[in-house]
Chain A
Amino acid sequence: MNERILDADVGIVGAGPGGMAAAVELARAGLRVLVLDEGARPGGQIFRQLPAGAAGGKIAEPPSHHHGHALLQQFGAGAITVRSQAVVWNAQPGRLWFEQEGASWLLRCQRIVLAPGAYDRCIPFPGWTLPGVITAGAAQVMVRGFGIRPGQRALVAGTGPLLLPTVTALLAAGVRVVAALEAAPRLAALKALPGVFGNGARLREAFWYARQLLQRGVRLQWSSAMFACEGDGVVRRAVIGKVDRHGRPRRETARTVDVDVVCAGFGLVPSIELGQLLGCAIARTDVRGGWCVTVDEVQRTSVPSVLAVGEICGIGGGEVAMAEGRLAASAVLADLRGGEVPAALRARVRSERKAADAMLRAFPPLPGLYELADAPTIVCRCEDVPLAKVREAAELHGRDARGIKMGCRAGMGPCQARICGPSLQAMACGDGRVPMDAPVVQVPVKAVSVGTMLAAPPG
């Protein structure tokens, strides 16, 4: 019965840049490393690998991705056990329970490194639930992970540094980008500069993106957003226009463009639920995407045997994740084998974080974007709850996440408010006076079957 128990020195959740970098270093030092990842192939969100033999050919990539390819290669060559399509649904210090192909497994390990990445932040607007409207992240997954072209004529809109890779991925896949809209004012580009200039790699990256757009004749339009998407069953048109400096739509500027795919990207939200389940302390930082798992100067969480790297500690991008992965590996080694964590690794994380923070600070959350939605706009997609009901619930039941949930079921569905949670309070209360609640989490952190829960090997 209990043959589904695995043992390793270190269990890593997530085979993105953070998890892979940690795994490579730990395996190199001779530790037994087991990496669990939900995806079909290692790589995480950024270094997506096409399945073998997939159509689509090579996608143009920014220079930093060479690091990723090198990492993927080391990862593949290292003495690392990887379990793909493995969903971690329960955790305790030293224990990770996961489901893989319907079977229920337990991994026992001395240390856990959490590298579960982030979710797309969704901001609802009229028509965002129409087929053909996808997140910027999903667009990249389709192009870079599956070699699928999501449409012919695309609108890319939202805010933050992730819009550019979305545009270039679409262009590389042969999609016409009708418009690329950034809600932040042009000033943001200037504000981001210090972060870019301090960091050679980022500077090269910025130039690379600028050149890609220039070559294809795509101009990023600042202070602009999509106001609504329209269509008969699928998206056909998008209403776009200017926004003020808070992101509030200036309706008088509205115009319509014909499109067959809309990619909306409003940044990322750290995926902290495994950390919370393990009892790790969390803190809110607006710059880094909201609630994050708190770590010390060598990536240790408040729970002794649990470390965290990458987006779970705050949005920062692939370079941050890799640097943190290496640092965490070094901290685990120092801890298990004695020795010091090289100062250079710490310094690297600090400088990558600094650059990333500067970039993110230039694109702060724009509360006015929450005014895009109107009363019938669905806010919670899982439970099909429109904004009008969310407001009613907040008015009667209370203006915190729980009140809203109790009054209209928003956040009770399969995503457990991971998608709508950040919007709910902002939209229902609007005035910013209500402090955001910390999300709550229970077993299972990802939906798994009753059978899997029952067959779970006891810890």
Chain B
Amino acid sequence: MTDTADIVVIGGGIIGCSVVYHLATLLPRDTRIVLLDRGPIAGGTSGSCMGHLMVTPDTPQDYAFSATSVRLWQQLHEQVGGFEHNPTGALYLADAAEDLELMPILKRQFEANGDRCDVLDGKQLQDLEPGLAADLPGALYYPGDGVVLPMFACGALLRGARAASPNVVIRPGTGVTGFDIQGGRVAGVRTAAGVIQTRRCVNAAGVWSPELGTMAGLPRLPIYPRAGNLAITAHHTTPVRTQLLEISYLRFAHGAATVDPTKTDEDPGGHAVNLQPQSNGSCLIGSTRQFRGMDRTLNPELLHRSLLRAQRYAPGLAAAPIVRTWVGLRPYSLDKHPLIGPWPHLDGMWIAAGHEGLGISLAPITGLLLAQQMAGVATAVDHTPYLPGRIL
């Protein structure tokens, strides 16, 4: 069977779905866009993660990128709908003295970007979230964050894409097995179900994106899986209403990894509490980080430590039944920033991958920037820091 497409997008996670949505809305309606995933839509990392829409104010660049994306989620919710979107904001909590010092730093960062966040003392925190331990010294509350249910968000983006264009084709269960390359550029994508002739394709395969690069004979992409253990409680048991994080998360998650991600047996792993109430009243408890290859078996040690911390902040969790635990793999890029743009070594090959623990937050802006680059129009925010050429 031979098929043709103007653009083939590989990977039906949150990034691939957003790319398809933005291509479908930006390009002419007769553009044939085919989305391929070897498994189900949202069956990879985007179905094994949390849904915190997080604004990161570390640098003005980060802020512009993430805040725009979180705003785009709000718009998508209004214009496309069909997924849960809860603009709850986020509480940053601290316990240890060295973590308390991070509070004023984070506050200044938000303010430096013209945004705001509120300092809560212990009593205010108790009034807002009576389910938290009474001895907590206080918290920062940032109102701009939100929560989505990532799997439904993937589906919604694809429904939106179909609504925008009759030429969007979605093919779950169709894995890419290779590429046809002619005259130094992409000519086709091979799958078990046949070849799709195309001159452009987008590698949005998250932690699997290096595999695809290798299939095309390209140098290995510097993206590595960073595992996270999660647990979810039964319905109606969440002790908190606002999603919250340990502020040490910033140091731990956003700082460069202190371990070499290619050495999969050397990372002792770490954790920072992230509690995320769901609309059905269950509470998602995260999260840990560890480089250990593609291994998706639970690390009981790390999960234990993470549950212990969670219970420290929300003692009521002790009685909450855990319905399930699982592991997701974050696509960590070596310089901590995603790769969004053309692959410098092969014409027609584009990439949108490497979002580590922020792929859900950054999906709309990623899809938009990639689509704008492919359409050859001006980009909404500066896209140059994310061009793959910087590290390839």
Contacts and interface: CB of A to CB of B under 8 A. Distances in A.
Interface of A: 383, 393, 396-400, 402-403, 406-407, 409, 412-414, 416, 442-444, 447-451, 453-454
B40 A398 contact: yes
A443 B325 contact: yes
A413 B278 CA distance: 13
Given A397-B41, A397-B42, A448 B322 contact: yes
Given A397-B40, A443-B325, 13 more contacts: A396-B159, A398-B39, A403-B40, A406-B151, A407-B151, A407-B152, A409-B151, A413-B235, A413-B323, A414-B235, A443-B298, A447-B322, A449-B322
B8 interface: no
A409 B42 CA distance: 12
Of B40, B154, B308, B326, which is in contact with the most chain A CB atoms at under 10 Å from its CB?
B40
Interface string B164-185: 0000001011000000000000
B276 to A, nearest CB: 15
Contacts of A442: 298, 324-326
Contacts of B285: 450
A450 B233 contact: yes
B64 interface: no
Contacts of A454: 304, 307-308, 311, 318
A449 B318 CA distance: 6
Contact of B317 (A406, A407, A450): A450
Contacts of B323: 413-414, 416, 447
Contacts of A383: 280
Given A403-B43, A407-B151, A450-B322, A443 B172 contact: no
B40 A450 contact: no
B104 to A, nearest CB: 32
A450 B318 contact: yes
15 contacts: A397-B43, A400-B39, A406-B40, A406-B151, A407-B41, A442-B326, A448-B322, A449-B318, A449-B319, A449-B320, A450-B311, A450-B320, A451-B311, A451-B318, A454-B304
Contacts of B154: 397, 406
B89 to A, nearest CB: 25
Contacts of B325: 442-444
B158 A396 contact: yes
B159 to A, nearest CB: 7
Given A398-B172, A403-B41, A449 B321 contact: yes
**Residue with the highest number of chain B CB atoms closer than 10 Å, among A403, A414, A442, A450:** A450
B173 A400 contact: yes
B70 to A, nearest CB: 23
A399 B41 CA distance: 10
Nearest to A455: B318
Interface in B65-86: none
B300 interface: yes
Interface in B313-363: 317-326
A406 B233 CA distance: 18
A437 B368 CA distance: 36
A406 B47 contact: yes
B272 interface: no
Contact of A447 (B158, B170, B234): B234
A347 B376 CA distance: 76
A94 to B, nearest CB: 16
A396 B319 contact: no
Contacts of A443: 298, 300, 325
A412 B323 CA distance: 9
Contacts of B304: 453-454
B321 A397 contact: no
A400 B40 contact: yes
B155 A444 contact: no
B310 interface: yes
A444 B232 CA distance: 11
B205 to A, nearest CB: 16
B319 A398 contact: no
Given A402-B43, A406-B40, A451-B319, A416 B324 contact: yes
Interface string B123-162: 0000000000000000000000000000110110011000
A399 B173 contact: yes
A294 B323 CA distance: 26
Interface in B27-62: 37, 39-43, 47
A450 B317 CA distance: 6
Contacts of A400: 39-40, 173
A12 B231 CA distance: 28
Contacts of A412: 324
Nearest to B326: A442
| 9 shortest interchain CB distances as A-B pairs | A403-B40, A398-B40, A398-B172, A451-B318, A447-B321, A397-B41, A406-B42, A406-B151, A406-B47
B133 to A, nearest CB: 14
Contacts of B321: 414, 447-449
A368 B39 CA distance: 28
A113 B320 CA distance: 30
B155 A397 contact: yes
A420 to B, nearest CB: 14
Nearest to A392: B155
B43 A406 contact: yes
Nearest to B174: A398
Contacts of B317: 450
Nearest to B316: A450
Q: Which of the listed residues B39, B234, B323 has the most CB atoms from chain A within 10 Å of its own CB? A: B323
Contacts of B324: 412, 416, 442, 444
A379 to B, nearest CB: 17
A398 B320 contact: no
B172 A397 contact: yes
Contacts of A407: 40-42, 151-152, 155
A416 B324 CA distance: 8
Contacts of A451: 311, 318-319
A398 B41 contact: yes
Contacts of B152: 407
Contacts of A447: 234, 321-323
A399 B172 CA distance: 8
A295 B170 CA distance: 41
A398 B43 contact: yes
Contacts of B170: 396
Contacts of A396: 41, 155, 158-159, 170
Contacts of B40: 397-398, 400, 402-403, 406-407
A443 B41 CA distance: 25
B322 A444 contact: yes
A407 B325 CA distance: 19
A180 B85 CA distance: 48
Given A400-B173, A442-B324, A443-B300, A450 B307 contact: yes
B173 to A, nearest CB: 5
B16 to A, nearest CB: 13
Given A442-B298, A449-B320, A449-B322, A398 B155 contact: no
A416 B321 CA distance: 13
A444 B320 CA distance: 13
A24 B233 CA distance: 38
B386 to A, nearest CB: 27
